[in-house]
Amino acid sequence: MTAAQRRVLAVCLAGGLTTMLDNSVLNIAVPALRSSLHADATEVQWLVAGYSLAFGLALIPGGRLGDERGRKPFFIAGIAVFFTAGLLASTAWMPQLLVLLRLLQGAGAGLVNSQMIGTIQDVFTGPERTRALGLYQVTCAVGIALGPPLGGALIATAGPDWGWRLAFLVSAPSGLATLLLAVRHLPPPRRSTGRTDLDPVGLLLVGAMTLTVMLPFIQPSSGTAKLLWALAACVLAGLFLLWQRRYASAGRRPLLHPALARSAPYALGTLVMMGQFGASLASGLVLVMFLQDGLGLSPLAAAAVTLPSALAMAGASAVAWRMVQRFGRHVAALGLALGVLALLLSGLAGRYAPAGWLPLLLAAGQFCSGAASGLSVSPNQAAVLRHAPAQAAGVAGGILQMSQRIAGAVAVSAISGIYLNGAGAAGSDSRTAYWHALLACTALVTLSLVLAVVTARRSPSPTGESPHPIARSAPPRTASDRAGA
């Protein structure tokens, strides 16, 4: 690895640390933020789900712009938007403004994320690429692990009114350093090759379809209204597929490559990852609210309960590929099954266990959930990307990440709504609400497990394929996707 390559890698590692640290810090600060700004359930749902939605919708256009016009200007623009929105968010005085700023942060993070992986793919090859991506994933995992204790300590020290504001500033030093390093060390942008085909109509239809699924869970609505929203989502889905076919027949580059749409293993595998990612994001948010609003734990104590998940995920990820080499795809299924069991037992503990034992039991559940993610996420992703047709390999990873983020936005809005509406304003029935929310998460991961088994049976592993996902040309899933922060 040359000195220039090390400097580029340092920029990407700093970007990963910045975005992951911000996400994990905010999760622990949500209850304090909600109390300080008097945010209602709808605003809390938008605060978290809106970030994932904006993140996901920025991935594909960001990746295409970087591919065709050079990654440096878009990396710098993304980190600048993310950094500035975070600073402004720390001064927000009403929840509506904070929601808007989190949407901007999500878009900035999506733009940065699409450039970080692409830059590593551009600059490194062979074993050096494997090493660089491994270091990137480890750095992101460190950011995820550091966030909860830092956020808990800030709120415990400064109080809820100032603590959540300081939490938005935790990533400011690394964000500023990333911005300066990017300006100096990223490769210069290449000369434009002409007009970039972003398929804005396709992107607009995806966003509208996602919103029609989210809104019935965020805004109170009758059964008839929910049915109308569901019909609208189906109509938009049909329009999206028709538009993609028409766009491709005109010789343009649609958002969803036709070869990906025709690949059943890729489609099924993407659904597996969407269910797992959505459940991970939603269960993490609901747990933090349950620990603080329902059980009355301090932010620092709540962070201690969630920390085993990040540690177990890091440890399981380190050994997952050795297990895959020995036991094959059964490892991913084992991880999903462990995730189902961990969610179910955590929900039962929250519903029936004595209050004094609950933090310890939930910490154990978090440890199992983290281990489940470490065993299943990367092998599942590798299997999905192996089924991407050669002519669509470059966009397969971006589509996968976008699908996961959109699934996360929908799952967070739906499952946090189950908890918030069930717990009541004072959290008086939080145990039952937590149990119901985790049942929904369990159903999602169970569906992912069933689809994973079906996919493995329909598409046996090709002989001689590499067992390591980042040895392939398609971009791997980031640590943010693994942790659901």
Nearest to 333 by CA among 318, 346, 319, 320: 320
324 shares a domain with 241: no
Q: Which of 186, 211, 237 finishes a domain?
A: 186
- The CATH number covering residue 37 comes to 1.20.1250.20
* Residue 283 included in any domain: yes
* Residue 193 included in any domain: no
367 shares a domain with 345: yes
* Residue 308 included in any domain: yes
Q: Which two tokens stand for residue 360?
A: 């310890």
* Residue 156 included in any domain: yes
* Residue 80 included in any domain: yes
* Residue 370 included in any domain: yes
* Residue 195 included in any domain: no
61 shares a domain with 19: yes
457 shares a domain with 340: yes
The three state secondary structure string of 213-238 is: HHHHHHCCCCHHHHHHHHHHHHHHHH
* Tens digit of pLDDT at every position of the chain (485 positions): 788 888 888 988 888 888 888 877 887 888 888 888 888 878 888 888 788 888 888 887 887 788 777 888 999 999 999 999 999 998 988 889 999 999 999 899 888 888 887 787 778 776 777 677 667 766 777 777 778 888 888 888 888 888 889 888 888 888 899 999 899 888 887 666 566 677 888 888 888 888 888 777 776 666 678 788 889 989 998 998 899 888 888 888 787 777 777 788 888 888 998 999 889 888 988 998 899 888 888 888 888 898 888 788 878 877 777 777 777 667 888 889 999 999 999 999 999 999 889 999 999 999 999 888 888 877 777 777 777 666 565 567 778 878 888 888 888 888 988 888 887 655 558 899 999 999 999 999 999 999 888 877 765 544 334 433 333 333 334 333 333 33
pLDDT at 459: 58
pLDDT at 81: 93
449 shares a domain with 332: yes
360 shares a domain with 224: no
Amino acid at 207: G
pLDDT at 195: 67
User: Taking a C-beta distance cutoff of 8 angstroms, is the pair 81, 431 a contact?
Assistant: no
228 shares a domain with 179: no
240 shares a domain with 171: no
Q: Which of 126, 154, 186 finishes a domain?
A: 186
245 shares a domain with 380: no
pLDDT at 476: 38
**How far apart are alpha carbons 250 and 230 in whole angstroms?**
30
* Residue 291 included in any domain: yes
**How far apart are alpha carbons 286 and 43 in whole angstroms?**
15
Q: Which of 186, 216, 241 finishes a domain?
A: 186
416 shares a domain with 331: yes
230 shares a domain with 90: no
User: Taking a C-beta distance cutoff of 8 angstroms, is the pair 136, 10 a contact?
Assistant: no
pLDDT at 220: 65
For the chain, how many structural domains are there in total? 3
The parent domain of residue 204 ranges over 200-254
152 shares a domain with 246: no
